[in-house]
Amino acid sequence: MKRRFKQVDVFSAKPFMGNPVGVVLDCASLTAQDMQTIARWANLSETTFVLPPEQGGDYRIRIFTPVSELPFAGHPAIGTVHAALEAGVLPSNKSDYVQECGAGLLRVRAEQSGPERHLFVEAPSATLRPIEDNELDELNAALDTDAGPTVRPQVVSVGPTWAVLDLGEADTVSMLQPKMSAITNISRAMNVTGVAVFGRERGSDVALRVRAFAPAEGVPEDPVCGSGNVCIAAFLRESGLLSSVGNFYSVSQGREVGRDGKVHLRVDVKTGAIELGGAAVTCIDGTLDC
């Protein structure tokens, strides 16, 4: 049968400047193996499949990379909401929705910011552990930097797991030329998705410059990474650094790989809950025969 399909660029209102996700609608009759086959064929970092809700949510999604299923991922969650609203799967007269996914029930909100609609998804709770000295030595060698972090780096998990390092300034982040084979090895040794680094922007409308490297997952550099940014927000919260950027801040990511993504993070100072948001635009709109 023919199923509606959209390829959505996330964290950008301008086509081809964000991070693409494939969204397949009308998926009630697809098996998990069908979904994995389609995701492998689509060959995007993630493809999502929209299903009827089972636990009281407004809709349910399953998220697949070309090789495995994920419980949560940031830009697929936002891209799916955009596609579902555009296709009429979700009513446009609401601004709050509940998404069912492998990480549970997550709140999603639509906010209008001038001419742009920004979509925010509540992230799963994060767990953190300090990075050990020997791990940090290997990470610095893999990143080919001597910009030693002033705050102990952490391994942070929200489903996907990232080694998070504060490198101080945006210029340090931008000039990195990491050794991908070494990043692969240390990622596997630490059992993490990859390495997310950030530095502070000066005189800009964004607070941070972010890069995320996940060659062990087949993604040498993620152009605009939702889960990596959530992990950085959790790191800032737990390390006492959030006040330096504010509990609602924006991030630039992707310029080093020809993109120009803009990510918004909101941290509830009372509960510690983190919301991830940004714009989205459809680049491909059609059907899959499957």
**Could you tell me the residue range of the domain that residue 27 belongs to?**
2-123+278-289
pLDDT at 190: 98
Q: 23, 5 in Cβ contact below 8 A?
A: yes
Same domain, 209 and 282: no
Please name the helix (run of DSSP H) or strand (run of DSSP E) that holds residue 286, with its range, or none.
Answer: strand 280-289
Instruction: Please give the Cα distance from 213 to 33 (Å, whole number).
Output: 28
Same domain, 253 and 282: no
Which position among 46, 122, 201, 221 bears the catalytic label?
Answer: 46
Is 274 buried (19+), middle (13-18) or exposed (0-12) by CB count in 10 A?
buried
Give, for all 290 residues of the chain, the pLDDT tens digit.
Answer: 899 999 999 999 999 999 999 999 999 999 999 999 999 999 999 999 999 999 999 999 999 999 899 999 999 999 999 999 999 999 999 999 999 999 999 999 999 877 889 999 999 999 999 999 999 999 999 999 886 667 899 999 999 999 999 999 999 999 999 999 999 999 999 999 999 999 999 999 999 999 999 999 888 999 999 999 999 999 999 999 999 999 999 999 999 999 999 999 999 989 999 999 999 999 999 999 98
In a domain, 270, yes or no: no
Residue 26 backbone zone (phi > 0: left; psi -120 to 50: alpha; other: beta): left
Same domain, 18 and 91: yes
Same domain, 119 and 158: no
Same domain, 254 and 142: yes
Same domain, 233 and 149: yes
Instruction: Please give the Cα distance from 279 to 258 (Å, whole number).
Output: 18
Contacts of 271 (CB under 8 A, 6+ apart): none
Instruction: Please give the Cα distance from 27 to 276 (Å, whole number).
Output: 26
What would the two tokens of residue 134 be?
A: 């020997």
Cα 19 to chain centroid, rounded = 9
Active-site residue flag, 69: no
